[in-house]
Structure 1
Amino acid sequence: MTETDTRDIRWIFVLLAAYFVLQIGVRLATSHSLDLDEAEQAFRSQWLAAGYGPQPPFYNWLQYTVFQFAGVSLAALSLVKNLLLFISYLLYGLTARLLLRDKALVAISTLGLLTIPQMAFEMQRDLTHTVAVFFSASIFFYGFIRSLKQPSLASYLIAGIGIGFGLLAKYNFAILPAAALIAALADARWRARIFDWRLVLTAVVALIIVLPHLFWLKDNLDFATARTLEKMTASGDASYLMQVTMGVSSLALAIISFAGLTVAVFAIVFGKSLRPALTAGSEWTRLIERMLLVFLIGILFLIVFGGAAGIKDRWLVPMLFILPLYFCLKIEAAGVTTGRAFRRFMVAVAIIMIGVPAALYGSVAAARFTGHYERLNRPYATMLENLRKQAEPMAILAGDSLLAGNLRQDIPGVPVLSVDYPGFHPDLAGRRPLLLVWLIPPKGGSEALPPAMAQWLQANLGASAPEGLVIDVPYFYGRGDDRYRFGYAWIDQPG
């Protein structure tokens, strides 16, 4: 690094801003269709609620607000995600600047987030609530470190905002502030910061933020937690010992999946000079180690006593996002020189910044050569455009939320309902014709109206099942004459 670079880290944020603008451009160029989480946001933006289901509502509220001003579009979806990611990286960099003297290590720790596949690739591919967790964790961790190092009303307020947003992002976020509290209490130097009266401000701010959702959660606890618990405890008829073994194994694999590439990159970049860092430490590395230990113990308790059999790597975001900063703190504590390592690291960053957008685009566009189609290859917009030539629907019933969200994007003024989500039930009286649409699996799927859709019609409209029709439309980036098939039907509902 030049002398100017060592004094000024703003270039990091300029680079990241350009990168996330590039990601927005790539997403818009890849496909007009929406993936699962994107479709969920488009579908659920039709109404504002204190809760929507298994995931807390922070991201839904944010996306709903943006849609009110910008309209329902892929551009608005991509903008929200990448703006949250940019702010998260910015806060992470500011936290690193508080703790690290070497500006090269500040850059490495901040850009080191790109070496975590779940954050560099998966968050761009189709995650929303996990992005909100990362955003909230970055706010909280910045406020927490400031409260320890430079305590002020503002630092405790920031920590409270981070906790409030985090609990509204995903329930498992709670383990991060809990681990931070326990880790700080274990060190006599930090206890005064925990027993500071300003911590009351942190708690009050967090409570105010989550209060509307807490009232909803009180009456909808089973609805909010059943799906997550089902995923975690899906061990079939396995014995208790087998369930624990499955849980511990899945945790180990999740940690390797999450941290493996980061460890490899740091090992390659720093080489033999990384070895002294393995035994070096500081008050900050010890604080983070205690946090990581509490986090690990918490998950093990969940496995041993809660029946968790399958731990997903993305569930580790609320804690393991700290890893690049932790490694850099260890490296600085060991007194490792960073000049050559920084140059090597920037080569790795350049490869990632080029490779990730290329892979995201290529995984969809390559279908024209491979015949392997992703959800983003499905031609929802073309299908709806063709059906609207037959008649202009006044309401739409979709077979699932993925389809509902995609339809909502292209006909935002019309209510779009989904069979798999009963929480949205607008008045359909006088809304005719009603369009029914469902997906037909490519290999041997039935063309008939799905039974769940027929049951919905009978229960909600007292209508009998209409005859199903089929429309097939060319894939986006399709190979040859490959087409995707949709089932549809019209109901000219009486007024």
Structure 2
Amino acid sequence: MSASSGTTAHAPSRAPWLWIAALALLVIMTRLWMSSAVSWDQNEQLVWSQRLRLGYGPQPPLYTWLQWAVNLVLGPTTLAVGLVKNSLIALTFVFMLLAARQVLPERTAWLATAGLAWLPGIGWQLLRDQTHTVMLTCAIACTWWLVLRHIRSPRPLGFVWIGLAVAWGVLSKYSFVLVAVALLAAALTVPAPRRALLSRGFWLAPLVTVVLVSPHAWWVLEHWDKASGSTLDKLHPADTPSRLHGLATGSGDLLAFLLLAVLPWLLMATYTLGKFWKAPAAPAASADSKHTSSLPWVEPLLRHYAIVVVGALALMVLAGASKFDGRWIQPLLLMAPLWALSRWPQAGNNARGARRYLTACLTILVLMCAIAMLAPLRDAQRGNGDRLNWQLDAIAASLRNAGFDGHGVILAEHHTTGGVLHMLFPQAKVVVCDADDPGFHLGCAWRKAERARAKGLPLLQVSTETPAPDAWWWAAWPIGSMPECQIHNLPYRWTDPAQAQMQLEFIVYPADTSAPVSAPVAARPTLHASAHSHLQ
């Protein structure tokens, strides 16, 4: 925008959008080249996304719903899970650029956007198969864009969009509630944002949010232990020896992750742009100014938001939270580059510094992709049994040769196993009774297996890597009638079989309810000795 006339002086550059698209394509291609297997959270999504439900576990359901929709088109594949995650990362950059352009000159807005690459909450996600945190980060960026746009041009429809974004965030990860509360509290302390958020139609935002979130909220109330137990256990580990020790460890975690959330970007910006904070801050203009480099409410809004977030986290420590994880904290401070550059919007005018800055951002992105791409090879050479080095074709061949035709029910001991088998046998129904969860003793394995037998469906009971406990196998069968368990030792990709092999344990029960269950094994301790197939 022209500072004098307020009219458009030139069309915004398309280069940032092309860079974002190119880098997103690079990341997706890197992921597909790296491995056809998936691990951790994405395997969980492959299991959960077999069907639509109002809730699935300790995380909100929106990511699973999105994965379900993509799977309808692409099937449960590595491409499907990689496309969802990396598209959300790309959209985070898109929304951040849109937000930054609301309050910064175009060149500086691009610096604030590209700087996300130096935030661990973004760069580290390129290396890990995470899910809900990625969507949370994207929802935060989108919410800030819509709020900043609404503050500059308040209208009732803007509240509808904000309500949609808040619902998106809450259904992505519950910690978004802290983001929404902190943003609202910060806005109410600054005159211009306060007037905008209390303008005509303000009630539309909470109405839209409540309508969209209510179905899942009802599910949470009915399944409170399932929805909250895991998170509370992580915040309050059972092995915390004392209140004082918990306070010390919680404070240490919080301080470390707060520094880590902003320090890499700050060091990079200082190196490339120089000590930009020593330059005079942007002069305050009138509150109704349309020039994006002179909006006096921007910096205090972002500063107050950061203060509220940090204060809320500190209160959690005082309330007894003794353990934090970086992926919980880093998305909350996603706006750190925008906050800093909103005070020095002229930083983008330094052409030499801007080139160095953007080169550093491109370098860290390429470096992250290279690390991700080479990690499975490095683990293979070290003899580590990395899940991304599972040979999926060998797993499928072992199970088919043992008589499993890809239909019926698969009972897995962990989501990692279940997700892989859902990719290999998409026609089968995969159910997980976690061998690490005492719940399988309460009937999970028995109910799932007995239901399959009653319907005459083929049943595959399977575990991978670390052998499941004996009780997990017995739990699925009538006393004294567990069929023979087979054990196949499969080589990892690129790994010397003498160093490490993946252990695949399974029982195949045919689809014939009239046939008696196979001859029972005498006792589980003989299971390994009775294995009759070892593939090297």
Instruction: Please report the TM-score for the alignment, with normalisation by the length of structure 2.
Output: 0.84
Report the Cα distance in structure 1 between the residues aligned to 2:133 and 2:465, rounded to whole angstroms. 30
Report the Cα distance in structure 1 between the residues aligned to 2:172 and 2:88, rounded to whole angstroms. 12
Report matched runs for 1:45-444 at 5 Å. 45-101=49-105, 103-234=106-237, 236-276=239-279, 282-305=296-319, 307-332=320-345, 337-393=349-405, 394-420=408-434, 425=448, 427-428=451-452, 429-441=454-466
CA contact (8 A) 1:85 1:131 kept: yes
Residue in 1 that maps onto 2:486: 469
1:47-84 CA-partner distances (Å, limit 9, x unpaired): 21100010010100111111122211111111111222
Report the Cα distance in structure 1 between the residues aligned to 2:501 and 2:283, rounded to whole angstroms. 59
Distance 1:140 1:273, change over 3 A: closer
Report the Cα distance in structure 2 between the residues aligned to 1:119 and 1:61, rounded to whole angstroms. 22
CA contact (8 A) 1:130 1:317 kept: no
Instruction: Look up the SS of the partner of 2:506 in the other structure.
Output: strand
Distance 1:350 1:265, change over 3 A: same
Q: Which runs of 5+ in 1 are unaligned?
A: none
Distance 1:280 1:290, change over 3 A: farther
1:356-377 CA-partner distances (Å, limit 9, x unpaired): 1111011112234332342211
Distance 1:111 1:54, change over 3 A: same
CA contact (8 A) 1:454 1:464 kept: no
CA contact (8 A) 1:248 1:303 kept: yes
Distance 1:109 1:489, change over 3 A: same
Report the Cα distance in structure 2 between the residues aligned to 1:82 and 1:242, rounded to whole angstroms. 39
CA contact (8 A) 2:107 2:349 kept: no
- 1:435 partner letter: L
- 2:328 partner letter: W
Distance 1:265 1:277, change over 3 A: farther
Report the Cα distance in structure 1 between the residues aligned to 2:194 and 2:422, rounded to whole angstroms. 51
- 2:45 partner letter: Q
1:375-426 CA-partner distances (Å, limit 9, x unpaired): 2112344212222122124321111111001110110001112112859959
Q: CA deviation at 1:331?
A: 2.2
CA contact (8 A) 1:439 1:486 kept: yes
Q: CA deviation at 1:303?
A: 1.3
Q: CA deviation at 1:476?
A: 1.8
Q: CA deviation at 1:38?
A: 1.0
1:89-132 CA-partner distances (Å, limit 9, x unpaired): 1111011001002x221111111111112212325521100011
Instruction: Look up the SS of the partner of 2:206 in the other structure.
Output: helix
Match of 1:33 among 28, 31, 37: 37
Q: CA deviation at 1:275?
A: 3.0
Report the Cα distance in structure 1 between the residues aligned to 2:371 and 2:489, rounded to whole angstroms. 28
- 1:73 partner letter: T
User: More displaced, 259-268 or 163-172?
Assistant: 259-268
User: More displaced, 270-279 or 382-391?
Assistant: 270-279
- 1:374 partner letter: D
CA contact (8 A) 1:243 1:308 kept: yes
CA contact (8 A) 1:123 1:131 kept: no
Residue in 2 that maps onto 1:489: 507
Residue in 1 that maps onto 2:521: none
- Structure of larger gyration radius: 2
Report the Cα distance in structure 2 between the residues aligned to 1:463 and 1:260, rounded to whole angstroms. 60
Report the Cα distance in structure 2 between the residues aligned to 1:273 and 1:95, rounded to whole angstroms. 21
Residue in 2 that maps onto 1:479: 496
CA contact (8 A) 1:133 1:317 kept: no
Q: CA deviation at 1:463?
A: 7.5
1:184-211 CA-partner distances (Å, limit 9, x unpaired): 1112333222222322111111112111
Distance 1:491 1:29, change over 3 A: same
CA contact (8 A) 1:51 1:57 kept: yes
Distance 1:36 1:188, change over 3 A: same
Report the Cα distance in structure 2 between the residues aligned to 1:432 and 1:181, rounded to whole angstroms. 54
Distance 1:237 1:370, change over 3 A: closer
Q: CA deviation at 1:351?
A: 1.0
Tell me if 1:457 matches 2:476: yes
CA contact (8 A) 1:401 1:418 kept: yes
CA contact (8 A) 2:385 2:502 kept: no
- 1:302 partner letter: M
CA contact (8 A) 1:6 1:104 kept: no
CA contact (8 A) 2:411 2:462 kept: yes
Distance 1:308 1:455, change over 3 A: farther
Report the Cα distance in structure 1 between the residues aligned to 2:479 and 2:81, rounded to whole angstroms. 36
Report the Cα distance in structure 2 between the residues aligned to 1:36 and 1:219, rounded to whole angstroms. 27
Report the Cα distance in structure 1 between the residues aligned to 2:16 and 2:480, rounded to whole angstroms. 60
User: More displaced, 291-300 or 256-265?
Assistant: 256-265
Q: CA deviation at 1:353?
A: 2.6
Report the Cα distance in structure 1 between the residues aligned to 2:156 and 2:209, rounded to whole angstroms. 14
User: More displaced, 230-239 or 280-289?
Assistant: 280-289
Report the Cα distance in structure 2 between the residues aligned to 1:450 and 1:414, rounded to whole angstroms. 24
- 2:509 partner letter: I
Matched pairs, number: 480
Q: Percent identity?
A: 25
User: More displaced, 118-127 or 293-302?
Assistant: 118-127
User: More displaced, 192-201 or 275-284?
Assistant: 275-284
- 1:182 partner letter: A
1:431-482 CA-partner distances (Å, limit 9, x unpaired): 44322211233xxxx5xx6234235304xx7774333321011212223654
- 1:156 partner letter: F
Report the Cα distance in structure 1 between the residues aligned to 2:10 and 2:255, rounded to whole angstroms. 38
Runs of 4+ in structure 1 over 6 Å off: 277-281
User: More displaced, 106-115 or 361-370?
Assistant: 361-370
Report the Cα distance in structure 2 between the residues aligned to 1:20 and 1:327, rounded to whole angstroms. 26
User: More displaced, 187-196 or 270-279?
Assistant: 270-279
User: More displaced, 222-231 or 65-74?
Assistant: 65-74
CA contact (8 A) 1:116 1:258 kept: yes
Instruction: Look up the SS of the partner of 2:175 in the other structure.
Output: helix
Instruction: Please report the TM-score for the alignment, with normalisation by the length of structure 1.
Output: 0.91
Report the Cα distance in structure 1 between the residues aligned to 2:273 and 2:104, rounded to whole angstroms. 17
Q: CA deviation at 1:311?
A: 1.3
